[in-house]
Structure 1
Amino acid sequence: MTDNNYTVFRRNYEDHISKKLRVGKEEFYHDYYETKQPFGLTIFGFLVLIFALYILIKTHTLYGISLIITGCFFIYGGLKKSKLVFKISKNGIWTAEFGFIYFRHIERFEFYRYIGKHSSERLKIHIKNYKIYKMEMPFLELTISHLDNYGDLKNILNNALMIANKKNKNKNYR
């Protein structure tokens, strides 16, 4: 799905859910952040910066300036804060791409590992009644290989989904 389809899903999802989204009042018990870059990247950037200053003073100004810019990029990459990508609450999941989705609207989760030139691990979130939300495919796909500590994510999501489905079945019988 393209980014346009994600925004179409988000708009249609918020229009069709029966309960108003209250993400601010949700209590999230698992947070997943992007993987932090190694500190060695910062050290390498600092060394490039020192070498750039030497080049700038001794030999050529243009080479020195280009190396200073390169060194600053490495330092920034090593020091930038990792952003929040995925959260789990008792009622649903929140992702940076899709926003908040209730467990009662999720059919199942699938985990895939794509191996090849650009290998990655992905999570497919299969949505119940996906045609209501004008989706082309019955799932939303999220890359999870860049998340910190995602090893137990499969068990946590499946357990939370099972608990949410049991709650929905109990409410339907009342």
Structure 2
Amino acid sequence: MSESRTPSTSRVVVGVSGSPGSLTALARAADEARHRGAELWPVLTWQAPEGDPAARRFPASATMVPEWELLARERLLGALRDVFGGADTGSAGQALVVRGAPGPALVRTADRDDDLLLVGAGGRGRLRRALWPSVSRYCLAHAGCPVLAVPPSPLRATLATVHRRNALRLRLDTGHLEREFGTPAPRGESA
């Protein structure tokens, strides 16, 4: 990706974590950037495993910071490879690794009025919503630019169901695949 930027160029900033939802958001952000003639800025945020306050209290963990940042960079490159087949997104812009909590770091990065911030949304159960704050909700509430919350891929729920049935060693119902996707069920299996 190009490192140069002009101040008047609009940006599409997208939060990337490597999760399936963030990969969907990254692909959508690339489409939005091309459509708008904007720069694409994929952003992966990271924190020390114990959090930044713990890293400040225990200097021994501070020696791990370069390693954690390197791991974050590798995760970002992996996400770019998964979506684009390589580190080049085909758009002008800059891929960033930012230290900090995801919501605040994304809002700080998408700090211009003409920015568009994309985040993955949905696919979280009640327990996850109760225990972990939602990055998309934070961004929607605090960003000074438009925010687009991208829902997960429609295949995600189907894949989760198949995974659960495989884990429980239950017979797969392939009839719904034929109904949804037009793929004939393999011989010997019924709907």
Q: TM-score, normalised by structure 2?
A: 0.27
Larger CA Rg, structure 1 vs 2: 1
